[in-house]
Amino acid sequence: MKQAHHLRQIGDVLKTFGTNGELIVKIREDIPQTILKNREPVFIYMDGLSVPFYMKAVEPKGVNKLVVVFEDMETETLATELIGKQVYMVSKKSDIQPNGEFDVLIGFVAIDERHGELGMVKEIMDIPGNPCLVVNKQEQEVIIPLNEDLIISIDTQKQQIHLDIPDGLLDLFLE
């Protein structure tokens, strides 16, 4: 049986650039642009499945942006299908930044058992011994301890983390 890979969001496809399939990809600030110089594929979710894309060409464009051409996506029409999609790479121990392995949860949707969808995980706060998720709910920043007792499940395919948040915790942040 093949082991499932943990995918880490590295950026977003912003728009096309030119007529030969070029795309502007905004890379997260904590991702070194050199990470994309290797020949490993990036992944983009299409119809709920992570689809590998190999980069044919990559060029820096300003701060935290790249012009990328993917193999077999060399027309503007094909490239347009990727606009607005998030770009992922397989997470490796050597890629992990100071926040540790929890960084793979950035971009996931946090869902509470009682309160429903809370919002997208924007960052991981690296508090020694108590990492926390930072989620925007109703335009308010909510900080949720990343404790194994609170995590019901993590669905990497749907990019969701299901939680059982104690009563009153959300009330501290939402008024």
Q: Stretch 145-157: mean pLDDT, rounded? A: 82
Quote the pLDDT of residue 96. Answer: 37
**pTM higher than 0.75, yes or no?**
no
Ranked by mean pLDDT, the top range of 13-22, 54-63, 127-136 is 13-22
| pLDDT > 70: percent of the chain | 85
Please tell me whether residue 57 adopts helix, strand or coil conformation: strand
The tokens for 11 are 């950026």
Whether residue 123 is contained in a domain is answered as: yes
Closest of 26, 30, 28, 36 to residue 98, by C-alpha? 30
User: Do 80 and 111 belong to one domain?
Assistant: no
CA distances from residue 162 to 5, 6, 21 in whole angstroms, order as listed: 19, 17, 37
User: Do 133 and 167 belong to one domain?
Assistant: yes
Q: Domains in the chain: how many in total? A: 2
Whether residue 1 is contained in a domain is answered as: no
Q: Which amino acid is at 139?
A: E
Instruction: Report the C-alpha gap between 129 and 98 in whole angstroms.
Output: 13
CATH number at residue 156: 2.30.30.240
Residue bearing tokens 């960084």: 103
Closest of 16, 64, 17 to residue 36, by C-alpha? 64
CA distances from residue 44 to 6, 48, 88, 91, 127 in whole angstroms, order as listed: 13, 9, 6, 14, 31
Quote the pLDDT of residue 81. Answer: 93
Quote the pLDDT of residue 102. Answer: 73
User: Where among 95, 115, 142 does a domain terminate?
Assistant: 95
22-79 pLDDT, tens per residue? 999 998 877 766 666 667 888 898 887 888 999 888 888 888 899 999 998 889 999 9
Quote the pLDDT of residue 128. Answer: 74
User: Where among 78, 95, 112 does a domain terminate?
Assistant: 95
Can you name the residues that pair with 136 across neighbouring β-strands? 141
Provide the mean pLDDT of the chain. 81
Structural domain that includes position 46? 7-95
Whether residue 24 is contained in a domain is answered as: yes
